[in-house]
Amino acid sequence: MFARGVGEETDIVTKEMYTFEDRDGSSLTLRPEATASVMRAYIEQRLDQRPGVQKLYYLGPMFRRERPQKGRYRQFFQIGAEAIGSESPSLDAEVIEMVVEFFRAIRLEGFQLLVNSVGCAKCRPAFIAKLREELAKAASSMCADCQRRAGTNPLRVLDCKVPEDQPIIEGLPSIVDHLCPECGAHFDAVRESLAERGIEFEVRTRLVRGLDYYMRTTFEVVHGALGAQNALVGGGRYDGLAESLGAKIHAPGIGFSIGEDRLVMSLEETRGGEFAARLQLFIVPLGAPASREAVGVARELRRRGVSVEIAPEGRLKRAMELANKLGAHYALILGEDEMASGRYTLKNMATGEQVGITRGELQERLGRG
């Protein structure tokens, strides 16, 4: 399925996919991506018989045998969405807008949206022939991967990240200049719809993505905090994927996947301590009665959605040091005096301010966030 859907000459299939023989002799493959799997489910469950566009999502681990580096792992996690059942360019813009709005909602700063069109089965073959012709003159001066791709998958040469190859790549033909009238009109409509939605973007004519099923719209969201592996999101349109998997239906669609690991890294880089300090309350009980009281307080607050940790038994000073290392907003001290008076000691870990507070007041204060 992955070889047919993703492409037999892609790096994912030829170099990165984990395929091995099971004990009964059957062949198993760890999924390298999820769009082909989603489309198979769409076909098998006859979701094309349902009215309207089918909007689906997934979360989970993927596996590729890549060279580990910052932002690239052999087991990584993706959040993805697919909209299947329409060729409309407005759907492309809607899917892209959902990604942008998600990043805005989590207050991720400094990301950039890149878009391109890779044409269709009508116009892409002529462009690939032209590209292969130009690469025949220059491939011998490029990296080993580009030399191999020049013969097997020339489009992937455009996505090369080797710095020494960039001057040659910049001189290669642009696919946007070779789009057929239908693909050209589709790309114009996507850009117009993005502009109408107030979404900033840059057309990057070398953006082709690494999967053969893409056609027409492709896009990425990149972030500078990730270094060389700076793509947070990759996506695009795959109108011929169902047919490549052997289906007798036409199921045009567009989708994306977010690298969950990379997203967390970007948030940590841009929001720093704000993102890390998500523990709201660290309870420090002093003695067995206080420990029993702490369990009840923690249970009540957790039911209200408050994140709470209880310190292990030990000295007050060590517990407060731990609260600080965990990035807790508040520390709650429960000792003999607090138990006797019914007023706990609540310390703001950022300011050092301490106040006396009852159990009911604590729930009201932290329950409001």
What are the chain's domains?
A: 2-123+179-271 (3.30.930.10), 277-367 (3.40.50.800)
How far from 280 is each of 15, 237, 322, 330, CA to CA, in Å? 45, 42, 14, 6
Four-residue CA torsion sign, 86, 89, 92, 97? negative
Region 211-218: mean pLDDT is: 83
In this predicted structure, what is the pLDDT of residue 167?
A: 85
**What is the average pLDDT score of the chain?**
83
- Ranges of beta strands (E only) in 170-298 are 202-203, 215-223, 231-237, 253-259, 281-285
Contacts of 113 (CB under 8 A, 6+ apart): 96, 100, 199, 200, 201, 202, 219, 220, 221
> Which burial class, exposed, middle or buried, applies to 325 when counting CB atoms under 10 A from its CB (0-12, 13-18, 19+)?
exposed
Region 303-316: mean pLDDT is: 84
Contacts of 328 (CB under 8 A, 6+ apart): 277, 279, 280, 281, 282, 309, 349
How confident is residue 19, by pLDDT bands cut at 50, 70 and 90?
confident
Region 343-365: mean pLDDT is: 88
In this predicted structure, what is the pLDDT of residue 369?
A: 47
**Pairwise CA distance, residues 287 & 284, whole Å:** 10
SS3 290: helix
Quick one: what percent of the chain has pLDDT higher than 90? Answer: 20
How confident is residue 62, by pLDDT bands cut at 50, 70 and 90?
confident
Region 52-71: mean pLDDT is: 82
Q: Which residue has the higher pLDDT, 249 or 186?
A: 186
In this predicted structure, what is the pLDDT of residue 229?
A: 56
SS3 193: helix
Structural contact between residues 115 and 194, judged by C-beta atoms closer than 8 angstroms: yes
In this predicted structure, what is the pLDDT of residue 4?
A: 58
How confident is residue 364, by pLDDT bands cut at 50, 70 and 90?
confident
Any idea what DSSP says for residue 15?
Answer: I
φ, ψ for residue 196 (rounded to 5)?
-65, -30
In this predicted structure, what is the pLDDT of residue 318?
A: 85
Region 328-338: mean pLDDT is: 87
φ, ψ for residue 339 (rounded to 5)?
-65, -40
Region 22-41: mean pLDDT is: 86
Strand pairing of 215-223 and 330-334?
unpaired
Structural contact between residues 361 and 335, judged by C-beta atoms closer than 8 angstroms: no
Question: What is the DSSP track for 126-173?
Answer: HHHHHHHHHHHHHGGGS-HHHHHHHHH-GGGGGG---GGGHHHHHTSP
Listed range (33-42, 202-211, 343-352) with the worst mean pLDDT: 202-211
Radius of gyration of the chain (CA): 27
In this predicted structure, what is the pLDDT of residue 228?
A: 53
Tell me which residue of 217, 220, 215, 202 sits closest to 159, measured CA to CA.
220
**Pairwise CA distance, residues 96 & 115, whole Å:** 10
Region 330-357: mean pLDDT is: 88
In this predicted structure, what is the pLDDT of residue 86?
A: 92
**Pairwise CA distance, residues 193 & 183, whole Å:** 15
Q: Is the pLDDT at 56 greater than 90, yes or no?
A: yes
Amino acid at the residue 37: S
In this predicted structure, what is the pLDDT of residue 189?
A: 95
- Tens digit of each residue's pLDDT (9 = 90 or more) over 230-245: 788 989 998 888 888 8
